[in-house]
């Protein structure tokens, strides 16, 4: 049998991306748990790990990830702790209190 030769790269890539997506989900959940427990360093580590996996496997991060993660100072953000959230004209604005960077997510539509 020569099924190994017939194996397509595309399919393999999708499979890897699915595994990567699962890992990202788990890491982000762990980051959240650690952040709520006050373990910000661990939370940052989990979140940046999730981001690294996303970049390596070219997986799009879940919607809202950038609200919770500061790309500039690579911190996992917790509202009321190290981040401020505000609604302005159909947009959700997230401010990182550590490095003062902003991220805006358009909200609305349906
Ligand atoms: Zn920041």
Per 3-state DSSP, the chain is made up of helix, strand and coil in percentages (nearest 5) of 50, 20, 35
For residues 58 and 28, give the distance between their C-alpha atoms in angstroms, rounded to a whole number.
17
Query: Total domain count for the chain?
Result: 1
In this prediction, residue 5 carries a pLDDT of 55
- Measured in Å, residue 52 CA sits from the centre of ligand 1 at 17
Burial tier of 70 (Cβ tally within 10 Å: 0-12, 13-18, 19+): buried
Could you list the residue range(s) of the whole structural domain that residue 71 is in? 3-106
Nearest to 74 by CA among 92, 47, 54: 47
Which tens digit of pLDDT belongs to each residue from 77-102?
999 899 999 998 899 999 999 999 99
CATH number at residue 62: 1.20.5.420
Per-residue pLDDT averaged across 10-14, rounded? 85
- Measured in Å, residue 12 CA sits from the centre of ligand 1 at 36
- Measured in Å, residue 24 CA sits from the centre of ligand 1 at 20
- Measured in Å, residue 10 CA sits from the centre of ligand 1 at 36
Which tens digit of pLDDT belongs to each residue from 18-74?
999 999 999 999 999 999 999 999 999 999 999 999 999 999 999 889 999 999 999
- Measured in Å, residue 82 CA sits from the centre of ligand 1 at 9
Which tens digit of pLDDT belongs to each residue from 15-34?
999 999 999 999 999 999 99
């Amino acid at each position: 049998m020569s099924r190994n030769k017939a194996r397509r790269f595309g399919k393999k890539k999708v499979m890897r991306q699915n595994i990567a997506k699962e890992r990202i989900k788990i890491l982000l959940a762990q980051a959240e748990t650690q952040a709520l427990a006050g373990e910000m360093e661990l939370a940052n580590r989990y979140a940046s790990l999730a981001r690294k996996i996303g970049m390596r496997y070219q997986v799009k991060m879940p919607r809202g990830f950038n609200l919770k993660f500061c790309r500039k100072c690579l911190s996992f953000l917790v509202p009321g702790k190290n981040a401020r959230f505000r609604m302005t004209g159909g947009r959700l604005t997230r401010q990182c209190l550590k490095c003062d960077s902003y991220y805006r997510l358009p909200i609305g539509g349906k």
